[in-house]
Amino acid sequence: MARAQSKLPVYVVCIDNDTFIQSETLSVLLEGRLSAASPFYGRNNQALTLGSTLPSAPAGPFLALIDMEAFAFAELATDFPWLQEAEAWMLRAQLGSFWSGELDFSRLRTRIRNLDFDVVDVVLSPATSPLQAPSGNVTLVCKPNTNACPQSTSARYHTVEALTYLSQPVARRSDFRLLAGRGSFGFAAGVFNPGAIIENKRTFLLARAERVPWARQRIDRSLFFASAQPILLTLDADHCVTAAATIPISGFSESAPTRLEDFRLFRFQGKIFANHAVITDQCHTTRSANSKRLDVDVLRTRMGISELAFCPTRLAWHGFPSVDRPLTRTEKNWVMFADCSRLFLLYSFSPYILLSASTWPSLEFKTIVETRLTLPFDDDGLTLRNSINPVDYDDSHWLHIVHKVHPCKHYSYWGILIEKQSLRPVRTTAHPLVCGWNSCSASIIYTCSALVDCNDILLFSGLDDSSSAVAIIPRKRLDAEWVDIPTGAP
């Protein structure tokens, strides 16, 4: 808490025994404007114990400063209902309590909302040394719902960041299993970002294999365009790789240097297709012959569609989808899924823009839904993108996954249920589905496909742009996560 130039007239009820917090609070208040108390609860927080000092209700407006770890704030609000008349609550805890799983931001926020308050900002007071990071303080600034006002951009960012990193993700470290990595199947730079599908009761992954590490690709653009190769992996019933084979691409021709990467799979009209990125060098004819370095600012990225065929195994180029909206130089993260005779292309998730094929197989797509959604993890200044091709979750919903990229390329993911009848998202996970570092010992986790059965959810991901992994999540764990997406304009 920063020191002020002049004393503040606000009254503070301090239910926090930390001497540093108390001294900092006293330093900014007028004399006699702080009341300290220590109400201790017995086992299971059922009753106050001997030695408790009870807080007294102030005569006028006040703030409540509460240590969430030492004192049960929800029980306090029940036993001392006048606490709910506070102008704001400042609920403090240490980072280590969230990292250990003792506290969970998502569950805390639900309890706070049940008391007619909401978190409007999150303030971090880091420890003096990185090795002491668990002792850093996190303070949740909460206001009554009756006194709520729109969050600033920075406050919204802090709140969503806390929801992402201080809530236990659905996918945990014990759920992940490595499938391939650097050097696997002869590819020095790794095998990663697998698209998944089941064919004839066998699981196949169409992944991106890299011959050359990125550090060398970036200084020699010819290596960038020669490095990527689609590879098909076959898994057994225990989700272990039993076969791997590179796949040729037929029918694709481009005059400029081009590479195809990041294949997502879907089934339509009895065939299997891959929607994938097509990256082209736009300036190959005008660049100096002596300029070898890769310039990512002149690359054009489009989405293409190819058919995956077996016997023999190959990718047959199908074409570029045509959409009814202007396109930018970089177009990626389009995803596709089918429902009987209809083929859908989800162009964007925020805003939600869904297109449908109008004259298949000519690849013309027309917009059928365009709307904005009110999501608990959006509007923080970070772009929300599609991650997987939606897959059947139950008779009424498709499972979709979306992601955003935080500083230092930390990815976080959220599960979404899209209603088949309305074609609109109706539910989301209360906790992050996957979160970089928290879910797995990798900051770059790129979840790009999913399979669903009656017992488990299988999430297939690339790790640190080099490895492939599967997370096997009990379905009942995900079933318990769904919360409704509010309807109406945000």
Domain holding 92: CATH number?
Answer: 3.40.50
The answer to the question of residue 216 being in a domain is yes
What range defines the domain where residue 17 resides?
A: 11-165
Residues 127 and 213 in one domain: no
Whether 135 and 179 map to the same domain: the answer is no
Helices 153-165 and 105-114: crossing angle in degrees, nearest 10, is 120
Distances (CA, A) of 210 to 179, 192, 243, 278, 282: 15, 8, 18, 15, 22
Looking at 139, 165, 191, the residue that finishes a domain is 165
Cα gap 449→263, rounded to integer Å: 9
Q: Same domain, yes or no, for 407 and 373?
A: yes
Q: Is residue 2 part of a domain?
A: no
pLDDT of residue 4: 44
Please report, in tens digits, the pLDDT of each residue of the chain (490 residues total): 444 456 777 888 888 888 788 778 888 777 778 888 887 776 666 677 777 777 888 888 999 999 998 887 888 888 888 999 999 999 999 999 999 999 999 999 999 999 999 999 999 988 778 888 899 999 999 999 886 678 888 999 999 999 999 999 999 999 999 999 999 999 999 999 999 999 999 999 999 999 999 999 999 999 999 999 999 999 999 999 999 999 999 999 888 899 999 999 999 999 999 999 999 998 766 555 457 889 888 899 999 999 999 989 999 999 999 999 999 999 999 999 999 899 999 999 999 999 999 989 899 999 999 999 999 999 899 999 999 999 999 999 999 999 999 988 889 999 999 999 999 999 999 999 999 989 998 889 999 999 999 999 999 999 999 999 999 999 999 999 999 998 854 4
Say if residue 123 is in the same domain as residue 67. yes
Closest CA to 178 of 233, 140, 226, 229: 233
Looking at the structure, tell me whether residues 282 and 345 fall in a common domain. yes
pLDDT value at residue 405: 93
| Domain presence at residue 278 | yes
In angstroms, rounded to a whole number, what is the distance separating the alpha carbons of residues 66 and 45? 16
Structure tokens at 374: 């009110």
Closest CA to 39 of 7, 10, 64, 2: 64
- Residue 105 and residue 181 share a domain: no
Q: Does 478 lie in the same domain as 329?
A: yes
Quote the pTM value.
0.92
- Does 490 map to a domain? no
Residues 214 and 96 in one domain: no
Predicted confidence at residue 45, as pLDDT, reads 61
Q: What is the pLDDT of residue 194?
A: 98
Assigned domain for 489 exists: no
Rounded Cα–Cα distance for residues 490 and 483 (Å): 17
How much is the pLDDT for 285? Answer: 61
Count how many domains the chain has: 2
Q: What is the DSSP string of 127-153?
A: -SSGGGGGG-EEEEEEEEGGG--PPPH
Q: Are residues 266 and 330 in the same domain?
A: yes
Position 3 in a domain? no
Q: In this structure, are 395 and 285 located in the same domain?
A: yes
Domain-terminating residue out of 165, 194, 225? 165
- Domain assignment present for 5: no
Specify the pLDDT at position 241.
97
Same-domain status, 216 and 303? yes
Q: Which of 165, 193, 213 is the last residue of a domain?
A: 165
Query: Are residues 108 and 218 both part of a single domain?
Result: no
CATH number at residue 370: 2.115.10.20
- Give the per-residue pLDDT at 2: 47
* Contact status, residue 193 vs residue 208, Cβ threshold 8 Å: yes
